[in-house]
Structure 1
């Protein structure tokens, strides 16, 4: 079912719904030819704690500068197309069923994006399913964005299946979202853990490093979902490569449910599903959005 009336508030809602989630700000640089990467021995610097530099912000002893690594991740992705998926699951710690079926959790958020920086284009989808006890759920169960500078189209779908549209195409804006690579969230997550390098492998002539980590003393500063308090028992496993790309990671921790004091288990995942050779397909809902936006003028 579709509602063609477009509330003025939707222009603001899209920003609120993605606050704290993946954001997108396309950069216009073409995909370069990938050279064969050859690891180079780098002189030890005082802040590397005796370790050899493996990637920006990463030494043989682990991540020593989360912001430097996250920035390298952002800068690399600004030069190529990519498909990024991020999930967040919040469940009661003793709910073994939800551990196997994330969509049956107390709250489940799925974000997926395809970004083409050279074309100033991206698609973004955010889905959220939650139980009634999770009162912090977003107003809309699904948010879709299709952006191809200067055209912006958004679709908002509520839990009942009613769709609303919003958009514009008369000015260059960079799109309604920011931070295409989620580098701010990556930096915050990495800052919450003390990591070590546990191994390495070569994929397509690029060296990847496996990381494992646990809580830092400042884990209380971890960016947590609404209603989740006092994060603790943090664990981290991830993969980064020598170019600074944060390929994937899983961050998990216990927390306290502000509503009733129950123990929660929170799990956040980040995965670059593909880097290079992706494009932004026109979504099936785009004609309805175009008609709605044009008809509202």
Structure 2
């Protein structure tokens, strides 16, 4: 290569590197446009399993996620049902505690002179290993104790079946909440097939539902209201439920468990 050729090569390299459009000898280089990167949003909202922007599109997936979250989380679950009618108010209170190692205790109490009678006044269920111990105080003064198989403990405890029934029918409006949670509100009457456990009344009418669901699918808060009829007239049923995850949940083994296999009777199973 001659000295002049070397100089021209150096000039061309420098011109290309500097972005200049002029070339020696009066020529013009074609400018190459550089594309400006466009930012792609990475914070797209996520939803719990079975929930999308338009509502609940997978009720079975949502119910399964709620069940998994209850099993995986030490928690305290509280549910209150009030039945108001022309003759008074009946109040049903449930508290369920689950420890980090899977021990569960659930208590039920029913009080009031409301329009719907109850066969059970107080009940405690305690699950350890593969056994569920149950003790119920009946309205007629009897006390019934049972030992039940824990393989079907979802039947004996609560927090699972009711959300599954509520989200299987009806349309829900979805609103973004805090910490990845979503709020679900029914936009029309929900077709609840039967009433709540412990409420002996006719088919629910005018059902409304509101819920707060975490990103993992745990139903943290639930509110249900509906009308129903009894022999005494119309009643209004209201339910509120909350789940509080807590790592310090402690459960003591009830003192009556050693006698749990005496006085056997049929299991008194909860349905929700």
Distance 2:218 2:134 in 1: 29
Q: 2:183 aligns with which of 169, 187, 210?
A: 210
Unaligned stretches of 5+ residues in structure 1: 1-38, 42-51, 96-103
CA contact (8 A) 1:215 1:232 kept: no
2:252 match:
281
CA contact (8 A) 2:110 2:122 kept: yes
Distance 2:152 2:205 in 1: 34
Unaligned stretches of 5+ residues in structure 2: 1-41, 264-272
Distance 1:245 1:295 in 2: 38
Q: Does the alignment pair 1:246 with 2:219? A: yes
CA contact (8 A) 1:84 1:273 kept: yes
The Cα shift of 1:277 comes to 3.3
The Cα shift of 1:186 comes to 0.8
Q: 2:122 aligns with which of 137, 142, 145?
A: 142
The Cα shift of 1:209 comes to 1.4
Q: Does the alignment pair 1:125 with 2:107? A: yes
1:114 match:
97
The Cα shift of 1:87 comes to 2.3
| Change in CA separation of 1:133 and 1:183 when aligned onto 2, cut-off 3 Å | closer
Alignment of 1:100-249 (within 5 A): 105=89, 107-116=90-99, 118-119=101-102, 121-131=103-113, 133-135=115-117, 137-138=118-119, 140-150=120-130, 152-159=132-139, 163-167=143-147, 173-174=149-150, 177-179=153-155, 180=157, 182-202=159-179, 207-216=180-189, 219-225=190-196, 226-249=199-222
Distance 1:193 1:295 in 2: 45
The Cα shift of 1:295 comes to 7.8
Distance 1:263 1:199 in 2: 36
CA contact (8 A) 2:193 2:203 kept: no
CA contact (8 A) 1:112 1:126 kept: yes
TM-score by length of 2: 0.68
1:263 match:
234
TM-score by length of 1: 0.63
The Cα shift of 1:124 comes to 1.1
The Cα shift of 1:211 comes to 2.2
1:2-60 Cα deviation digits (max 9, x unpaired)? xxxxxxxxxxxxxxxxxxxxxxxxxxxxxxxxxxxxx964xxxxxxxxxx751111112
Q: Does the alignment pair 1:68 with 2:50? A: no
Distance 1:195 1:294 in 2: 46
1:82-130 Cα deviation digits (max 9, x unpaired)? 22122222212x68xxxxxxxx61x3222211123634x2111111225
Q: Which has the higher contact order (CA 8 A, sep 6+)?
A: 1
CA contact (8 A) 2:154 2:160 kept: no
CA contact (8 A) 2:99 2:247 kept: no
1:232-274 Cα deviation digits (max 9, x unpaired)? 32222221111111111101122222x14x2221112221033
The Cα shift of 1:182 comes to 2.7
The Cα shift of 1:143 comes to 0.8
Aligned residues between the structures: 220
